[in-house]
């Protein structure tokens, strides 16, 4: 019996992956004016948002690439790590874009 491939909503995937970078960009842009709340938001993007985005994106992507349960489990761990690192690196880009004049 063949399993049907799992469909992925790529718009949702990339929105979750890029959300911490957008939050960091908005926080960095707001903290230029001396707003303390925006500075907290700029710091929370990479420290809290990137691991959460990696967790969501990795779990969302793992069933698509693995065939067996063991493959899905191990590829889930790998996908979570890779997606968290990519999201974390994108927050640096968001901080740079938000803090530029």
Per the domain annotation, does 2 fall within a domain? Answer: no
Residue 93 structural domain = 10-99
**Residue 23 within a domain:** yes
What's residue 4's pLDDT? 65
User: Quick check: is 3 in a domain?
Assistant: no
pTM metric for this prediction: 0.83
Quote the number of domains for the chain.
1
Task: Report the pLDDT value the prediction gives residue 1, as an integer from 0 to 100.
Answer: 44
* In-domain check, residue 87: yes
Q: What is the pLDDT of residue 40?
A: 84
In a domain, 60, yes or no: yes
HEC letters along the chain: CCCCCCCCCHHHHHHHHHHHHHHHHHHHHHHCCCCHHHHHHHHHHHHHHHHHHHHHHHHHHHHHHCCCHHHHHHHHHHHHHHHHHHHHHHHHHHHHHHHCC
Spans of the chain below 70 pLDDT: 1-5, 35, 101
Query: Is there a domain that residue 57 lies in?
Result: yes
The reply to whether 1 falls in a domain is: no
């Amino acid at each position: 019996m063949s399993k049907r491939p799992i469909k992925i909503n790529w718009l949702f995937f990339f929105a979750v992956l890029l959300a911490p970078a957008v939050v960091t960009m908005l926080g960095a842009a707001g903290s230029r004016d001396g707003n303390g709340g925006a500075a907290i938001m700029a710091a929370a993007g990479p420290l809290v948002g990137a691991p959460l985005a990696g967790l969501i994106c990795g779990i969302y992507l793992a069933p698509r690439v693995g065939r067996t349960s063991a493959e899905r489990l191990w590829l889930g761990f790998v996908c979570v790590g890779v997606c968290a690192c990519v999201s974390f690196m994108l927050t640096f880009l968001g901080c740079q874009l938000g803090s530029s004049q």
